[in-house]
Amino acid sequence: MNAIYLDHAATTPLHPKVIEAMTDEMAQTFGNPSSIHTFGRKAHRNLENVRQLIAASLKVNPHEIIFNSGGTEGDNTAIIETALAKQAQGKHLITTAIEHPAVLKTMQYLETLGFEVTYLPVDEKGTLAVEVVAQALREDTTLVSIMYGNNEIGNLMPIKEIGALLKEHPAVFHTDAVQAFGSEQIFPHELGIDLLSTSAHKINGPKGVGFLYKSDAVSLPAFLHGGEQEEKRRAGTENLAGITGMATAVSLLTDSEKQQRREHYQRYEQLIIKKLNDAQIAYRINGNPDNKLAHILNLQFEGVPSDLLLMHLDLRGIAVSTGSACTAGTVDPSHVLEALYGKDHPAIKESIRISFGLGNDEEQIRYFAEQLIDIIHKLRA
């Protein structure tokens, strides 16, 4: 059996059609989209065609799409610029305790500038109650930033309900949709979302490129200053090859393709669970299995240290993770699992994240489950 990659929540392999599109773009279009000569006009035309394609996938206006370097830049731009622009109206911000570090650390930075941040709790299944959001809202709340789907346990947040709640409040609503964009139907205008950030490398596109959706209803100062690219909203020459690759990845995510992927991933999850049950392996599913992204499965195996399990799987050519790739290589425990269970719960050091994607099939999943069971038996023995 060849090496098996089950860490698609960290990053995804490039789709062959993405590689082809990027190669063609690099070979045929080298002009600067801001130049007014023939080469520049060709590049600009390609850029705007891509913008229309991506906007159509969200049912938004093309000029509401701002190309950038990915999810972290999108989160920073949305949060910092909104907070600074609206600080005269208030300096209270709301987020959750299980956000990606790109949101949490940005909020912590703003706290050093005098902003007050409310970190909303979740229950033991990682569920965020809309009532908790409503209770946290104040007159001086200017921004609510809540992820669409969690990157460690997969939980889907009540975005539609929060959007409806905020229609009666002037706070700007931002969502980090990096994990959800590849599988969920997301239409910001219908959901009441003002700002949405995502990243191409989570949907079989290239690393280092993404976009921020900014509603026309929101005034957002530029985060980067310099040239007048992206309608003066994000300075810097656009990465046209990367953006083209991202657009190709988006174009492959048709409604039927998303549905098919969800069905495949649910089947993979059921296969793993059945294998564990048949082998009488004790485990816990972290998060809410009935309301989550289909491609993420987070499991605790009591008495089995996750770092040891990871190492043994890796030695057998299987890649999974213990949580967010942005904290990989550190000894920091998962802040997501701490939010669910408390800081001293054994699940924090006994859990792994399995995430499915392009290239996985049932044969791989069956082999993975068999190897996982064998390793757990040996480690528990």
Domain total in the chain = 2
Angle between helix 16-28 and helix 240-252 axes, rounded to 10 deg: 150
Do 214 and 351 belong together in one domain? Answer: no
Q: Output the pLDDT for position 332.
A: 74
**Helical residues (DSSP H) of the chain, grouped into ranges:** 16-28, 38-58, 71-85, 101-112, 130-136, 159-166, 188-191, 229-232, 240-252, 255-278, 306-315, 335-341, 362-380
Residues 168 and 280 in one domain: no
Check whether residue 58 and residue 200 sit in a common domain: yes
- What CATH number is attached to the domain comprising 23? 3.40.640.10
Residue 11: the pLDDT is: 98
Which domain-ending residue is among 206, 221, 252?
252
Give yes or no: 7 in active site.
no
pLDDT at position 16:
98
pLDDT band at 31 (very low <50, low <70, confident <90, very high): very high
Instruction: Express each pLDDT in 280-319 by its tens digit.
Output: 999 999 999 999 999 999 999 999 999 999 999 999 999 9
Q: How confident is the model at residue 330 (pLDDT cuts 50, 70, 90)?
A: low
Please tell me whether residues 50 and 190 are part of one structural domain. yes
Residues 343 and 314 in one domain: yes
Q: What strands, in cross-sheet order, belong to the sheet with 116-120?
A: 65-68, 210-214, 195-199, 172-176, 141-145, 92-96, 116-120
Please identify which residue in the block is written with the tokens 């946290």.
136
Q: Look at strands 141-145 and 351-355 and give their pairing.
A: unpaired
In one-letter notation, the amino acid at residue 59 is K
Q: Does 336 share its domain with 374?
A: yes
Residue corresponding to tokens 């622009």: 85
pLDDT grade, residue 326 (50/70/90)? low
pLDDT (tens digit per residue) in 118-128: 999 999 999 99
pLDDT band at 381 (very low <50, low <70, confident <90, very high): confident
Catalytic annotation, pick one of 53, 235, 326, 373: 326
State the chain's mean pLDDT as an integer.
96
How high is the pLDDT of residue 333? 86
48-107 pLDDT, tens digit per residue, is 999 999 999 999 999 999 999 999 999 999 999 999 999 999 999 999 999 999 999 999
Q: What is the CATH number of the domain that holds 315?
A: 3.90.1150.10
What is this structure's pTM? Answer: 0.95
Structural domain range at position 335: 4-13+255-380
What's residue 1's pLDDT? 74
CA atoms within 13 A on the CB side of 267: 13
